[in-house]
Structure 1
Amino acid sequence: MFDILALLLLLVSLAISLLISIPLVGALVRLRANYNPKGLQLDDEGNVEPHTGPVVTTFFGMLRRVKRIEGWAGLYKGLMPSLIETTFLTLFAVIALNGNPRQHGRTTPPESGIIGTLIYAAFSIILSMPATILTYRAITTPYKLPYFRLMYSLRILLTPTERRRPWILFLTPGLFLAQFLRSAYLIIVLRTIRRFLVPTTSDTTSGFEIHPIKFTVYAVIAILSTAVLCPLEVMTTKLAIQRNHAAAEYNSVEQEVEPDAVSGEEYVEYSGAEEDVIGLRHEKDPYLGLLDCARRVSQEEGWQALYRVWWFTMLVGVGSAFA
């Protein structure tokens, strides 16, 4: 029998958490997705022209820019897909865990060894990929998305190919590999090391104890892991917002001939601003995979672009020691 009151309290706490986290996540996604090439670009006629997109290098600078151009509504872009995903996963966790939301607020991978956990992680990534793609695109689109007009929003966010064949989202070049490598590192490396160095409440019956030296060693390893995890997170963002097309005269991820989105109202029209919050890479020259994405980002934007908001990844890694 479900504890209805506990479930309602859990949903309310999740709603409050989203109200706080969505603007922060939005700034993080925008900053990592922003295309800011260092070299000169070529226009449609092959003439050299300098890049004129926005240059934003700080997290809080991005927050201020979003608020100035798109207002409060822009800060909460991506709220609905995040809310739907969070609600679905929470209800699933409550049902799967015998309806006891007081003890469990989220699902955890099963204790079935490294291979079993990796298989579980792979299926979890597959299930979450559409939500990740829709959320990131909703955050970075220049168009206003109504909260309760699902089909209209999908026509803005998805190409005709993606709407006709939604399974193509799972074939977005490099996206699954980027997410899987991140999960594999977290499971094989960090989770294994954490098990030996930092106990959890389930590892002991006499209380929660942390050995200072072991905790420090784990914290250092988590900090150094930023060098691996942050580029994967940046590339995940860039690949998730890259839309899939299928015109015969272009490759599978390039721009289609016919207009691929409805004509919607842009935030710049609403606010009177003369430029979008971020610049996006042209869809006619897409990333063809994870390695291609890493190579092109390094060549076009500099390797530093792969470490945008690295401190966020580091804080999450160190914070995992207290989880």
Structure 2
Amino acid sequence: MLGLVEIIFLYTTLAFILALAVPFNGVLVRLRANYNPKGLQLDAEGTAVPHTGPVVKTYFAMFRRVYRLEGIPGLFKGLMPTVIQTFAVTIFVILFVDTEKPRHSKYRAPDSGILGTLFYAILMLIISLPNTILTNRSVTTPVKLGYFNVMHALRVLLTPTELKKPWIIYLTPGLMAAQVLHILIIVLVLGPLRRWLIPEFSEASPTLEDVSVVRVVLYTVVAVVITALITPLEVIATRLSIQRNHASAEYNSVQQEVDGDAEPVEDYGGDEEVIGHEADPYLGLADCAKRVIHEEGVMALYRAWWLTFLGIWGNAFF
């Protein structure tokens, strides 16, 4: 059990990391959620018209666009749900996970054996999925959300049906499937290969004396293959997470209607939104993958793949 000084140091470090991570994660969510068709579209009369939304294909181009349109406050959208999830997961891992080196990340769960790690990862998915949805929607919405006005934020981010029946968000088409596949690849494939190739870094106090360069190179190859498998799942999960359930017919799947007696909302400046949206909802994981490839090209499923690779590779050593 950690002492008071260690706990204070831990949460101070987490606060510093979040101050850096939230803006970069928000840009990543926007980049992967951005709808950028490669061809012409048809209007209501069947006439071909060019796409009029933002054409942003790189991470740093999206970063500049967010800063230009929404400023510093826009870079910190999604801060509150991220803070809540991070601190809650940290407390859970410290108190309940029996391991010499407690850790939790997207690409490496606490080492508690394959079955234990798989159970932990699925449990954390069930607990954190609503928060992930709220985070991604708060990042991509053009509406300004206060940090402490919870009910107003929920009315903006969730449809009336989702507010009345919160469990519906678990039934978001394809989202749970994408997340579970992601977990299975990490826990059943990446984890065992990491422990086999570089077992030194699974110890509480790893030493570099016995580290084999050849094994590190082999693990790097494994990281490349895993990146190729899970980056599309991450892009698809991002698209599906911002897709609202049971939205009214006059709104598209990623816009939220505001009741007539609701409080007025304030948007980030101008009529120009940071990202473009697909009007027609995706029907599931396979439908999302097929339509993204057909409409935007296969490389749209690999946006910011290098960040996924760095996450996989770095989490093995640090």
Note whether the superposition's TM-score is higher than 0.5: yes
Instruction: Assess if the C-alpha contact under 8 Å between 1:160 and 1:260 holds in 2.
Output: no
The count of aligned residue pairs is: 311
Alignment partner, residue 64 of structure 1: 64
Change (3 A) 1:246 1:23: closer
Tell me the residue number matched to 2:79: 79
From 308, 314, 318, give the equivalent of 1:319: 314
The offset of 1:214, in angstroms, is 1.1
Distance 1:68 1:198 in 2: 43
Aligned to 1:11: 11
CA distance in 2, matches of 1:257, 1:14: 32
Deviates more, 1:205-214 or 1:80-89: 205-214
Query: How high is the sequence identity, in percent, across the aligned residues?
Result: 48
Distance in 1, matches of 2:255 and 2:33, equals 22
| Corresponding residue for residue 139 of structure 2 | 139
Aligned counterpart in structure 1 of residue 283 of structure 2, from 271, 276, 288: 288
In the alignment, structure 2 segments of 5+ residues that lack a partner are none
Structure 2 CA distance for aligned equivalents of residues 51 and 164 of structure 1 = 36
SS of the residue 2:200 aligns to: coil
Judged with a 3 Å threshold, the aligned counterparts in structure 2 of structure 1 residues 212 and 151 are, in CA distance, closer, same or farther, namely same
1:10–1:105 contact (8 Å) kept in structure 2: no
Deviations 1:233-286 (A, max 9, x none): 110110111111166x89xx9589975695411102xxxx4411111111xx21
| Pair 1:147–1:212, CA change in 2 (3 A) | same
Contact preservation (8 Å) 2:101, 2:110: no
Cα offset, 1:93, TM superposition: 2.4
Do the aligned partners of 2:247 and 2:256 also contact (CA within 8 Å) in 1? no
Equivalent-residue separation in structure 1 for 2:256 and 2:20 (angstroms): 40
Task: Give yes or no for contact 1:121–1:180 (8 Å, CA) kept in 2.
Answer: no
Q: Which residue does the alignment assign to 1:160?
A: 160
State the Cα distance separating 1:200 from its structure 2 match: 3.2
CA contact (8 A) 1:39 1:50 kept: yes
Which blocks of at least 5 consecutive residues in structure 1 are unaligned? none
Which 10-residue stretch deviates more, 65-74 or 103-112? 103-112
> Are 2:308 and 1:275 aligned?
no
What is the TM-score with the length of structure 2 in the denominator?
0.88
SS of alignment partner, residue 283 of structure 2: coil
Distance 2:28 2:61 in 1: 11
Residues 121-160 of structure 1 deviation map (CA, whole Å, 9 limit, x = unaligned): 2222111100110111111111101111000011111010
